[in-house]
Amino acid sequence: MPARSTAQRRLLKEYQELSRDPPEGIIAGPANEDNLFVWDCLLEGPPGTSYENGVFSAVLTFPKDYPLSPPSLKFDPPILHPNIYADGNVCISILHPPGEDPNQYERAEERWSPVQSVEKILLSVVSMLAEPNVESGANIDACKLWRDDRKKFEEIVRNDVKKSLGL
């Protein structure tokens, strides 16, 4: 068996930790045993939000130099949210490359660093669902809807929740 890379060893360790003690409402692990760099995730919508009772499927893709570089997370199917692009890709500080933000929206300590973990990423994404950052939106249409017609926004999200449950 070939020697595992640093990234593979780290991902295996994180998977074992998540399996032993998963955070409530989060299930994640490699999509298949032969590739530790692509994980399937199920995230429960946070209670008290329009996403409540939803179970949303996402794919976490890790770069070969993980943990030096951040993974990417994509909801599949996409869900409506100000910080999720229309194609399902998540835009959140913790998944942005380390260092200073060229746009100066984020402090360096809010961005990716190798001390972050899969668990912290997924908890941050669930928290983002509950509290969107409309000042730095990824999906401009969702931001406008959130600000200008919250009732319509919540109606669309409730439909996303129903779809997530196969209803």
Task: Report d(CA 122, CA 28) in Å as an integer.
Answer: 9
Q: Quick one: which of 124, 123, 122, 156 has its CA closest to 139?
A: 156
Positions marked catalytic: 91
One-character DSSP codes across 92-117: -GGGSPSS--TTSSS-GGGS--TT--
Close Cβ partners of 134 (under 8 Å, ≥ 6 residues apart): 82, 143, 146, 147
